[in-house]
């Protein structure tokens, strides 16, 4: 480990007792070391109903995997919950659980958190993205002796979780428009998150200080650590989520007349890494590209240190993450190597278009509008496709024609293809980037495994 005078987050100040808190110079918070847990090898005492639920859930998950029906990440947990409705809180008891929520970045950040925690002890995670209660149960059942859990949770389901138990740490990443016909407006989600964290006063909340909607959700909580990564997508945060007043430019130290304001940062994301409490800089050196993944990694590192982790050991594990449930993977589709990128709403399309702008590799855009995507694709008009001018693009998916019209108005040349395979067949040179929204991305991951 590097010889630093002070370690960040929950780590010990050299020369001070391990249980002595120290003042945080930026926000006045006082941090206290939580010693890393040791795996409890003793079998958990479960009642007959709970034991039956776990066995039935595991059997259903195994059968789903064996017969090619799915990963088992939902069906096993759903069956187990139907047999024991209190199973989630029973499985969470005695573990340190990190919950990760937000519109974008949940799956990648959850995987980073899981790896960072595994530097200390075994950790379970819902790596397939099954992010509701049945998925949480399925993940927790996989290894009963794991003292840690990193769980992705749907934004509207966090309140259901905190009604049942208080996670050790809650990560609030960001909020923007997504699946409006299912989720509703951003303020509705922000209010749900505010209720969720208020139900867990003993949890530590690690939140994005640059997103007014997240600040609104977390500001009243007694234990908040603020992450600053910059505000790139601003269009869903121009009005105060508390009173509705116009905030204007939210890229700096914004403040509303009602008192809601951008708080001081505990962690700041830089061009190369992250600066934590005490001004210690951590060189992230990630395998995953882009500034957005430096933000995700900073959240993961802050969570790991909050639970007693060593920064060097945690970062070594985070650096090994090179994909997350297929995101950023290079795969073979119809005999062609392609890089898969997920973008499902204007904020995430902004990040992915920025990522591919640095290359001249072939580009295929795929958009569906099925139930899991949201049927409304009017959000296509909020994306700055103009950055693709001068570049040839192929489009496919259920809403290829809608996408082609939007690109036409952006003065981007686009070829409409009946399938992604046809689109790839018309490209030459380099490894094509394929940016797809949720169900289109999922289908491509499945086809790449055949």
The CATH architecture that domain 22-318 belongs to is 3-Layer(aba) Sandwich (3.40)
Per CATH, the homologous superfamily of domain 330-448 is Mur ligase, C-terminal domain (3.90.190.20)
Could you check whether 22-318 and 330-448 share the same CATH topology?
no
Each of the 450 residues of the chain gets a pLDDT tens digit; together they read: 333 333 333 332 223 333 333 233 344 544 444 554 454 444 566 788 999 999 998 998 888 888 777 777 788 899 999 999 999 999 999 999 999 999 999 999 999 999 999 999 999 999 877 899 999 999 999 999 999 999 999 999 999 999 999 999 999 999 998 877 666 789 999 999 999 999 999 999 999 999 999 999 999 999 999 999 988 888 898 999 999 999 988 888 999 999 999 999 999 999 889 999 989 999 999 999 999 999 999 999 999 999 999 999 999 999 999 999 889 999 999 888 999 999 999 999 999 999 998 888 899 999 999 988 989 899 999 999 999 998 889 999 999 999 999 999 999 999 999 999 999 988 887 889 999 999 999 999 988 876
Q: How far is CA 333 from CA 105, 313, 423, 444, 446, in A?
A: 25, 36, 11, 8, 10
CA angle in degrees (0–180, nearest 5) for 202-208-214: 75
> Is 446 within 8 Å of 424 (Cβ atoms)?
no
User: How long a stretch of residues is the chain?
Assistant: 450
> Domain extents for the chain?
22-318, 330-448
The residue annotated as part of the active site, out of 19, 253, 360, 376, is: 376
Q: Is 323 annotated as a binding residue?
A: no
Distance CA 440, CA 259 (A): 42
Q: Is 216 annotated as a binding residue?
A: no
Q: What's the pTM?
A: 0.87
Query: Is 145 noted as a catalytic residue in this protein?
Result: no
∠ CA(273), CA(277), CA(283), 5° rounding?
A: 20
Q: Is 258 marked as binding a ligand?
A: yes
């Amino acid at each position: 480990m590097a010889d630093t005078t002070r370690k960040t987050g929950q780590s010990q100040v050299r020369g001070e007792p391990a249980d002595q808190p120290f003042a945080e110079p930026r926000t006045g918070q006082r941090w206290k070391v939580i010693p890393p847990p040791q795996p409890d090898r003793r079998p958990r005492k479960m009642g007959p109903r709970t034991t039956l639920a776990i066995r039935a859930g595991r059997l259903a998950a195994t059968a789903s995997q064996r017969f090619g029906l799915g990963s088992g990440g939902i069906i096993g947990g759903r069956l187990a919950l139907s047999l024991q409705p209190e199973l989630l809180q029973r499985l969470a008891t005695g573990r340190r659980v990190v919950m990760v929520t937000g519109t974008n970045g949940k799956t990648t950040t959850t995987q980073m958190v899981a790896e960072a925690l595994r530097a200390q002890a075994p950790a379970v995670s819902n790596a397939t993205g099954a992010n509701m209660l049945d998925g949480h149960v399925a993940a927790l059942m996989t290894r009963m002796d794991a003292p840690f859990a990193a769980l992705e949770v749907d934004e509207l389901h966090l309140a259901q979780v905190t009604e049942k138990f208080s996670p050790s740490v809650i990560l609030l990443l960001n909020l923007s428009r997504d699946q409006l016909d299912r989720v509703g407006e951003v303020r509705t989600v922000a209010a749900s998150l505010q209720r969720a964290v208020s139900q867990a006063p003993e949890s530590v909340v690690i939140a994005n200080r640059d997103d007014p909607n997240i600040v609104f959700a977390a500001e009243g909580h007694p234990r908040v650590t603020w992450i600053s990564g910059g505000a790139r997508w601003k269009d869903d945060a121009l009005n105060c989520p508390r009173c509705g007043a116009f905030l204007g430019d939210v890229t700096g130290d914004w403040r509303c007349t009602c008192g809601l304001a951008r708080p001081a940062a505990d962690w700041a994301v830089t061009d190369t890494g992250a600066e934590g409490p005490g001004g210690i800089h951590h060189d992230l050196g990630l395998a995953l590209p882009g500034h957005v993944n430096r933000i995700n990694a900073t959240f993961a590192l802050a969570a790991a240190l909050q639970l007693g982790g060593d920064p060097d050991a945690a970062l070594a594990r985070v650096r090994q993450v090179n994909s997350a449930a297929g995101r950023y993977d290079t795969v073979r589709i119809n005999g062609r190597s392609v890089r898969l990128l997920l973008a499902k709403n204007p904020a995430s399309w902004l990040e992915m278009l920025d990522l591919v702008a640095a290359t001249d590799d072939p580009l295929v855009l795929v958009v569906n509008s099925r139930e899991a995507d949201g049927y409304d694709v009017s959000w296509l008009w909020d994306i700055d496709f103009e950055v693709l001018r001068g570049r040839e693009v192929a489009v496919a998916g259920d809403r290829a024609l809608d996408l082609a019209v939007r690109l036409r108005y952006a003065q981007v040349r686009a070829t409409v293809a009946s399938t992604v395979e046809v689109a790839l067949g018309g490209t030459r040179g380099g490894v094509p980037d394929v940016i797809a929204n949720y169900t289109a991305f999922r289908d491509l991951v499945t086809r790449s495994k055949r």
